Amino acid sequence: MIFDRRVIDKIDWTVLAVVVAVAAVGVLNIYSATHLGSGRIATLYLKQLAWLTLGALLLVVLAATDYHRLEQFAYLIYVASVVLLLTLAAVGKISSGAQRWFQVGPLTLQPSELAKLAIIIVLARYFHEDKAQRAYALKDLLLPGLLVAVPMGLIVEQPDLGTALILGVIFLSVILVLGVRLWTLLLGVGAVGAIIPWAWHYLKDYQRRRVLTFLNPEFDPLGAGYHIIQSKIAVGSGQLFGKGFLNGTQGQLNFLPAQQTDFIFAVFAEEWGFIGALVLLGLYLFLFFWGLSTAAQAKDKFGAILAFGVVSMLFWHVIINIGMAIGVLPVVGVPLPLMSYGGSSVVSVMMGLGILMSVRVRRFIF
């Protein structure tokens, strides 16, 4: 059955409450970060609400749909995502030197966000079809590695290093949990180390500056290092209880760049302090553990990998985004789930949560 009404009886309403809480905090935070702006900027929180509404509808549809349908169409979904990325390279909208979006009327859509889900689905099908009970050797990972490398390469060309990095760590997370031979793991680490010098020369100039300023933000305090310095000031100035809603000086006085997207956590930490940040992290941790529990209790290998893939996507988004905000990771442009402004990001996260719920409730529905 594609759509099952019995799902409603099995929905975990506590999880839905946590999702709504994080999303609501995100909308308030975006309002705080942008309400002193003018025109389009001042209404971003309303657009976020609209995207959340669409995301909620898709969450319900996916939760009520048997996730095995995704297995049937996994390769078609993957091919469609690659085609979208190829089309984007030809007709995509260019903004700030990057070609990452389709302009559809008043809307901008980012195909790379949906590519994350496509990769999770195709990896789940590929490894589900492999019935061998063994740790994977290097030759076993060549084909799934190629499946990931194709969209990664297209996304790097946009350029969008952050999303490409997310695809890479999703793949790494999945193969590690499935089991990899030690020698294969060592070869992989060695290969990554060997290509770093080549990759350094391949990076754009601004990307190199971001890495250098991550190591030493004072290297370029008014240029590439400005983001990290201002974000760390905002987070630190929040102290224990924060400055209060709408009272953050770094955010309200526009010292903090990209404050509604990449550095939304800095806005939140400045206004709500260390205690508020702990509460937010607690909500994320609840979702992570719920997702891992879903993967562990899934009815089959496909559902388990699917659920774990979604959890790894959410986990690495949170780790990398907050790491950027507090200066322990380079700035690579990764949004904070349900907090950062961005329609495509919100929709992909909500769809991922819908897939998780589909896997979870079908422990009981046969």
Q: What is the pLDDT along the chain (366 residues), one digit of tens a residue?
A: 455 566 666 778 899 999 999 999 999 999 998 887 666 777 899 999 999 999 999 999 999 889 999 999 999 999 999 999 999 888 777 776 677 878 777 778 889 999 999 999 999 999 998 766 677 888 888 999 999 999 999 998 888 888 999 999 999 999 999 988 888 778 777 777 777 676 666 666 766 776 766 666 666 666 667 778 888 899 999 899 999 998 888 877 777 888 888 899 999 999 999 999 999 999 999 999 999 999 999 989 999 999 999 999 999 999 999 999 998 888 888 999 999 998 899 999 999 999 999 999 887 655
Q: Where are the beta strands (DSSP E) in the chain?
A: 93-95, 98-104, 107-109
49 touches 24 (CB < 8 A): no
Number of separate helices (H) and strands (E) present in the chain: 15, 3
Please give the single-letter amino acid code of residue 34: T
d(CA 149, CA 170): 12
> Tokens representing 174?
């999945």
Inside any domain, residue 16: no
> Tokens representing 363?
């422990």
Among the listed residues 210, 254, 217, the one whose alpha carbon sits nearest the alpha carbon of residue 234: 254
Inside any domain, residue 15: no
Inside any domain, residue 54: no
What pLDDT score was predicted for residue 59?
A: 94
Among the listed residues 241, 234, 290, 309, the one whose alpha carbon sits nearest the alpha carbon of residue 32: 234
Inside any domain, residue 267: yes
Give how many domains the chain has, as a whole number.
1
What pLDDT score was predicted for residue 195?
A: 73
d(CA 72, CA 297): 21
d(CA 356, CA 270): 32
Length of the chain: 366
What pLDDT score was predicted for residue 130?
A: 78
Strand partners, 101: 93
What pLDDT score was predicted for residue 1?
A: 45
Inside any domain, residue 172: yes
List the Cα angle 52/315/234 in 5-degree steps. 75
What pLDDT score was predicted for residue 221?
A: 66
The whole domain housing 319 covers 73-342
Inside any domain, residue 352: no
Inside any domain, residue 166: yes
d(CA 79, CA 72): 13
Inside any domain, residue 176: yes
What pLDDT score was predicted for residue 126?
A: 93
259 touches 267 (CB < 8 A): yes
The reported pTM is 0.91
